[in-house]
């Protein structure tokens, strides 16, 4: 527990300047946060991405591919506290951050939409209008430019509808019955011995 540091000051009454009283200074350092700042910052300065554990532990997130998980962080990086619903993931926006394939972005974005982790708030169009998206673990902010009916359809926590996938014990190729016959098929025994046909031997009779 941090003990409050109370500073005292002199206060002279206006009616009688010869009378002085003690009164506590209004600014008292009482919080643990300020005490920690004096010792050193707990993390590097600047903003940060807050992704709740319930999102990271959900079946929707764990079932994503690695590109889709990376793209989800790109969505979350754009949030400033009041603009959930106006996030973009175009190649022009992501290329300076290391993304080089529009096809990879499209496939990862489709995964996030199917998993319920993001929601499209404004449909983009040619030539230069990008689609807008919102992350579903935050509330949808009230912004101009959404498509009609978006605020009524958007549902926070939609990713929680995804159920864990149960692994099947059946091989992907299906089950096959064990064959009793040899691998080269059923063969008929040869009618001729391996050494060839036996030739009869004629022995002369001793009687004439």
Give the separation between CA 80 and CA 146, rounded to whole angstroms: 18
Residue with more model confidence, 37 or 121: 121
Q: Give the range among 11-20, 54-63, 138-147, 186-195 with minimum mean pLDDT.
A: 11-20
Contacts of 60 (CB under 8 A, 6+ apart): 115, 116, 117, 159, 160, 161, 162
pLDDT score at 126: 80
Rounded to two decimals, what is the model's pTM?
Answer: 0.62
Three-state DSSP state, 158: helix
pLDDT score at 6: 47
Average pLDDT on 45-50 reads 89
pLDDT score at 21: 55
Structure tokens at 66: 């690695």
Q: With contact defined as beta carbons under 8 Å apart, do 173 and 131 qualify? A: no
**pLDDT tens for residues 79-112?**
999 999 999 999 999 999 999 999 999 999 999 9
Mean pLDDT of the chain: 80
């Amino acid at each position: 527990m941090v003990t409050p540091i109370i500073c005292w000051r002199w206060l002279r009454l206006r009616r009688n300047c010869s009378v002085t009283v003690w009164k506590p200074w209004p600014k008292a350092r009482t919080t643990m946060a300020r005490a920690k700042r004096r010792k050193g910052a707990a993390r590097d300065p600047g903003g940060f991405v807050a992704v709740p554990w319930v999102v990271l532990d959900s079946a929707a997130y764990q079932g994503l591919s690695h590109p889709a998980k990376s793209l989800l962080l790109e969505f979350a990086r754009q949030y400033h506290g009041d603009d959930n619903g106006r996030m973009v993931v175009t190649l022009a926006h992501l290329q300076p951050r290391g993304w080089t394939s529009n096809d990879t972005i499209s496939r990862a974005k489709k995964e996030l939409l199917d998993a319920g982790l993001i929601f499209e708030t404004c449909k983009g169009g040619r030539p230069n209008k990008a689609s807008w998206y919102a992350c579903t673990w935050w509330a949808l902010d009230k912004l101009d430019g959404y498509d009609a009916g978006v605020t009524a359809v958007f549902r926070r926590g939609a990713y929680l509808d995804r159920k864990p996938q149960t692994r099947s014990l059946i091989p992907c190729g299906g089950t096959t019955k064990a064959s009793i016959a040899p691998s080269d098929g059923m063969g008929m025994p040869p009618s001729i011995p391996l050494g060839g046909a036996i030739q009869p031997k004629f022995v002369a009779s001793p009687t004439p």
